[in-house]
Structure 1
Amino acid sequence: MRLSRIIMALTVGLAVVAVPTAAGAAQPQPAPSATTDPPQPPPYPPVVASLTVNRPTIFLGETVILTGTNFGPNETVDISVTVTPLAAPAGGQAPARRSDGSTVAMAPVAYQASAPLNFTAFTNAQGRFTKSYKPSVTGLLTFTATGRESGRTASTELRVLHKKQPLPVTGDSLGTPMKLGGGLVGAGAIMLLLTLAWRRRQRFGGAAH
């Protein structure tokens, strides 16, 4: 009898001790922090500048408009130009031909003003600029624009072709029409003389009858 009471008392004591332990274990525990750094905002895509020309191909002596966008606001933009020669056409430039069959080379037109290979442009509050440019050489021109403060850069290409030139007028070219005109005048004079002689012969022949 006494033994059973002792066992019951031990069971009740163990139950009382186990209840707080189970309650503490049931409480949610805070998740361990993976990092102590504050959360960072999501990254934004970088701003890409652009540079374009209004015409991709022109003839020498014509003007193009360069347009830059997405540069820094109110920024100075440096523009450099590199020139790559174009491939010569098959057979080269056709020479002028004289009336006797000989040829004479055509000299290219010389331009007094030389376009700069380095110049600047200035953007507005939206980071945009326009700049006119008149090339003085033929070839494939590459424009590279770089913002001084933003460091943004962009490039574009322009193809400049030789302007078609009319055939040169040489002394032989002038002599040919003059020779033809002189020949026609001479032929007309001969026909006139023959006509007068024929009329005179008809007049005297009629009088003889």
Structure 2
Amino acid sequence: MRLSRIIMALTVGLAVVAVPTAAGAAQPQPAPTVTDTPQPPPYVPQPASLTVNRPTINLGETVVLTGRNFGPNETVDIVVSVTPLAAPAANQPRRSDGSTVAMAPVAYQASAPLSFTAYTNSQGRFTKHYKPHVTGLLTFTATGRESDRTASTELRVLDKKQPPLPVTGDSLGTPMKIGGGMVGAGAVLLLLTLAWRSRGRFGMGSAR
């Protein structure tokens, strides 16, 4: 009897110990928290661009070059190449049969390309004023030193405009006055000559 009581007591004790463990296992576990923030999609850089504010100018005028989407705060090298413009047909010499003679390129067309630099801001943008010293079709090619991005644009440079000759009233009035006076003097001389001949015909010139 004593042994059966001991076994029963051990069984009850094990049951009491197992009940809290089972109750704790049955409780719902908290969901894990997400600490990583979502990452933005990868940035795709825009292609670099180079523009001029005026596509055609006359020699002596200034244009503004604008570069965009280059590297931030970098040096941009700009190279200028010159291509001669075709001479108008009216200015080309002609042969006796009426055909035109091709003109040889002038000396400045063989000159080396020009170059200069510009500096971008934190947004990869720059502006640069440029005053050409030659006529022709100018091609600007800009290349970023660090980003290696490149862009180009063209500019047509024509000869200087020739100012029209001034036409004033005095410049026209003076020749007209002189011409009118000469015509009037000629008419008077003609009338005197005719009167002299008429007088001699009737014998009035020899009478005393």
TM normalised by structure 2 equals 0.52
CA distance in 1, matches of 2:42, 2:181: 90
Alpha-carbon separation, structure 1, partners of 2:92 and 2:156: 18
Q: Could you tell me which residue of structure 1 aligns to residue 124 of structure 2?
A: 127
Picking from 155, 159, 166, the partner of 2:156 is 159
The aligned counterpart of 2:54 is: 55
CA distance in 1, matches of 2:121, 2:64: 16
**2:180 is equivalent to residue 184 of structure 1:** yes
Query: Residues 64-122 of structure 1: CA distance to partner in whole angstroms, max 9, x if unpaired?
Result: 1100000111111111100000111112179xxxxxxxxxxxxxxxxxxxxx8111111
SS at match of 1:91: helix
SS state of the match for residue 137, structure 1? Answer: coil
Q: Which range moved further: 81-90 or 56-65?
A: 56-65
- The answer for unaligned runs of 5 or more in structure 1 is 1-40, 95-115, 170-175, 196-209
2:8 aligns with none
Q: Which 5+ residue runs of structure 2 have no aligned equivalent?
A: 1-39, 94-112, 167-171, 192-208
Alpha-carbon distance in 1 for matches of 2:42, 2:62? 42
User: Can you list the C-alpha shifts for 1:146-197, whole angstroms capped at 9, x where unaligned?
Assistant: 111111111000111123325789xxxxxx99765532232345568999xx
What's the CA shift string for 1:113-150, capped at 9, x where partnerless? xxx81111111110100001111111110000011111
Matches of 1:182 and 1:87 in 2, distance apart?
A: 46
Q: In angstroms, what is the RMSD of aligned CA positions? A: 3.4
Q: Distance in 1 between matches of 2:115 and 2:181?
A: 62
What percent identity do the matched residue pairs reach? 72
Q: Does 2:139 correspond to 1:142?
A: yes
**Larger deviation, residues 83-92 vs 182-191:** 182-191
Rounded Cα–Cα distance in structure 1 between residues aligned with 2:61 and 2:71: 30
Letter in 2 for 1:91: A
Equivalent residues in 2 for 1:83-102 (5 A)? Answer: 83-92=82-91
